[in-house]
Every structure is written in structure tokens, then in C-alpha cells.
Structure 1
Amino acid sequence: MRVDQPLLQRSAPVSRQRKAEPQQPLVIIVDDDASVREALSELILSMGFEPVCFASTRELLDADVLNSPGCLILDVRMPGASGLDLQHHLATNGNPKPIIFLTGHGDIPMTVQAMKAGAVDFLTKPVRDQTLLDAVIAGIAVDAKRRG
């Protein structure tokens, strides 16, 4: 798969690959900024992981992906429910999906809240590619360990 192909042209082949290999980890990206979603998706694809993107927490909750192996990359501030709200919702409903927060508007109390609630990492935009990829690998490892 070429890295310079538009994201929309890749969605069908990636989905077919997922059906052929149902245990491949998903990296679920939730961010209200389309350019951020596309850039993160490109980075995740370049490392051989399968990205699935959503513009809001509601879109994610309406989809059937949360029980798949993998992790979440989650923006904090979004219209509707925030990333922190989603983290609380998932934990309360028995889905402790590993979460990597990625935000341009973080502060220390927000970071502490997210980490105490079990976030794998709390990163600020802009982030180095390798830093984010290390966090994704850690998130996938946490999920794999939970699934036993």
C-alpha cells in the first residue's frame, strides 16, 4: 500500500484485510479535526497497524469496533462528549480500552485525571511520530495482556 494514496482510497482494502485477519489490532482515532485524523491514520498505516477514524465520541460509540483488539488515540476537547468523558464511560461500562490522549489543550490537572483513570499516555500536539508510535505499541501490548 502506497503512503501517498488518499485515505479514502485505502479504506476498502484495509477493511478486507481486517476480515481476513480478525485479530489484527485496531488503532481507533477519535479527533474532531479531519486533518489530524488523516495525518494520524497515515502514520499508523506506515507502521503496519490498522487505523479506524471517528470525528466524535458519539460516532465511535455508534460503531462496532470497541471490542476489537487494539487501543484508542483520543483528543480531549471535542464537540459533545470530551475524551475524558469517553474514558469514564468506557471504564464504567466494562470496556477499559487502552487510551492515549493527544491534545493541544492539556494541562496538569487534566493529565493527572486521565492517568489516574488508566490512560496509557497523555501527549500534547504537536507530538513526535516516534513518541506517539511508542505509546501505540504500549497501548496494544496492554490490551493484549488484558485479553490474555
Structure 2
Amino acid sequence: TVFIVDDDSAVLKGLRLLMESVRLNVEIYLSAQEFLDSYDQTRPGCLVLDIRMPGISGLELQEKLRQKNISIPVIIMTGYGEIAMAVEAMKKGAMMFVEKPFSDQVLLDQIQKAIASKSSLQSHSPDSIIRRVPWA
């Protein structure tokens, strides 16, 4: 299951359609708190979350999961890409950091890697930070 947390309902709708188009199970949440309240850690999958949200941010959610010893692969997405945030997200166990807008295929590839991974709380190289460059 791909668990997606973002406060933008349009982003959630688009990502839900993308996941369903490749036959991935998906659950969407408008807030980190909503995810925390309903997440069953016995269910395998990965977490795709926005870094900037009202209430609990993506980084704070990562920390709360760590404190509860919940190990789930995390992919951070944001429209506010900053290297400092990427470094912090990676230190907290994120597998990848993507800036919106991003390539559907890049995200799908990373989700497949995340679902296949056995551990989400490990160090990841800076090479796994993906940034969309306007002229690329």
C-alpha cells in the first residue's frame, strides 16, 4: 500500500489516480495527524508525504514514527525544495526527496524500490536526492 499524506486535495487526487493506474493500493490523508490516527504498522507499504503541512509537518511526522519505532519507507515531496530540508529528511530516514512538480515515472520507480526495501531507517546517499531543474 502507498500511503500518501498531503494537505492539497488536488495533489492527493492526482497521486491516487496515478497509483491506481499502475494497480497499486493507495490510501490518502489530508494531514499527518489523520495518518497517525489510522495507520496500522502491520500493513506493508511506503509513505509518500508532503514536507510542509499545517499542524504536523512531514519532518515532524518522520520523527513521531521514529519515536514509536515504526519503520516504513518514506519519500518526501515538497513544492518548497531546500537542501537543508532534504538533508534533514534523509537523516530521519527518507529514501528520497522530490520537488513538485516531479516526473510520474521517477516517483513510481522510487515507490517500487521503497515497497521492495526491507528497512526504511538507514542512511541514504546524497545521490538519492532528486531535484527538478527548470532547464533539464
TM over 0.5, shorter chain: yes
Match for residue 98 of structure 2?
123
Q: Is 1:72 the equivalent of 2:35?
A: no
Residues 2-57 of structure 1: CA distance to partner in whole angstroms, max 9, x if unpaired? Answer: xxxxxxxxxxxxxxxxxxxxxxxx10000000000000011111111111000001
Q: Is 1:84 the equivalent of 2:34?
A: no
Match for residue 82 of structure 2?
107
Distance 1:100 1:73 in 2: 5
Q: Is 1:94 the equivalent of 2:79?
A: no
Q: Per the alignment, in what secondary structure is the counterpart of residue 94 of structure 2?
A: coil
Distance 1:141 1:106 in 2: 26
Match for residue 42 of structure 1?
17
Q: Structure 1 unaligned runs (5+)?
A: 1-25
Q: Per the alignment, in what secondary structure is the counterpart of residue 16 of structure 2?
A: helix
Q: Per the alignment, in what secondary structure is the counterpart of residue 120 of structure 1?
A: strand
Q: Per the alignment, in what secondary structure is the counterpart of residue 48 of structure 2?
A: strand
Q: Is 1:61 the equivalent of 2:36?
A: yes
Q: Structure 2 unaligned runs (5+)?
A: 120-136
Distance 1:100 1:119 in 2: 6
Give TM-score, length-normalised by structure 1.
0.77
**Structure with greater helix percent:** 1
Q: Which has the larger radius of gyration?
A: 1
Give TM-score, length-normalised by structure 2.
0.84
Percent identity over paired residues: 45
The 4+ residue runs of structure 1 with deviation greater than 4 A are none
